[in-house]
Amino acid sequence: MQTKQQKEVLIAEVAKKIKDSKALVFANFKGVSVKNISQVRKELMRNGSGWQVLKKTLLNLALKKAGVVTDVRKLDGQIGVAFSYDEVTAAKVLALFAKANRDVPFTIEGGSLGVKELTIDEVKALAKLPSRDELRAQLVGTLQAPILSFVRVLSGNLSSLVQVLKAIEEKKA
């Protein structure tokens, strides 16, 4: 049993994590094995995010302290929260886990983006967005495509010129 002072310290720590995060995802993990939750936690950490399990009342107090307008007490089951320091990582990891482990009773219950509350559908839509690194790769590819096309056109003209000169040389020989 935690003392009131320990709970206040925990609420302050979680509120700081919430303020530092760009997105939160709430998931019901009731009935999920420790092995599976550890797998989720490791995947989140590998992607620079985190996972925390708290009582709904304490989580609600931390959310309120951080300025996030949502009520986790209305969510079903045991709620864990994934903290994401970018907009899509936590949503992607939890959605992929839920999709890959359909036999496990793991469900996304909602979330928040900044201080705005997100519905389940909005969190799933967020999970479908490309990550920042994927967007950067697409941008580089888009910027590089015209340059590569120009180089191919120029090399095509040069190779045609070489072929014509080679044909003239063979004709004269």
> What are the tokens at 7?
């709970």
Between CA 173 and CA 170 the distance in angstroms is 5
pTM, two decimals, is: 0.75
Extract the runs of DSSP E, i.e. beta strands, from the chain: 23-28, 50-53, 79-84, 107-113, 116-118
CATH of domain 4-129: 3.30.70.1730
Between CA 44 and CA 5 the distance in angstroms is 29
- Which pLDDT tens digits describe the chain residue by residue (173 residues)? 678 899 899 999 999 999 998 999 999 998 888 998 999 899 999 988 899 999 999 999 999 999 888 888 888 889 999 998 888 889 999 999 988 888 888 889 999 988 888 888 999 988 888 877 788 888 888 888 888 777 777 777 777 778 888 888 888 87
- Give pLDDT, residue 114: 84
Residue appearing with tokens 């928040």: 112
- Give pLDDT, residue 85: 86
Give the start-to-end residue ranges of the domains of the chain: 4-129, 130-173
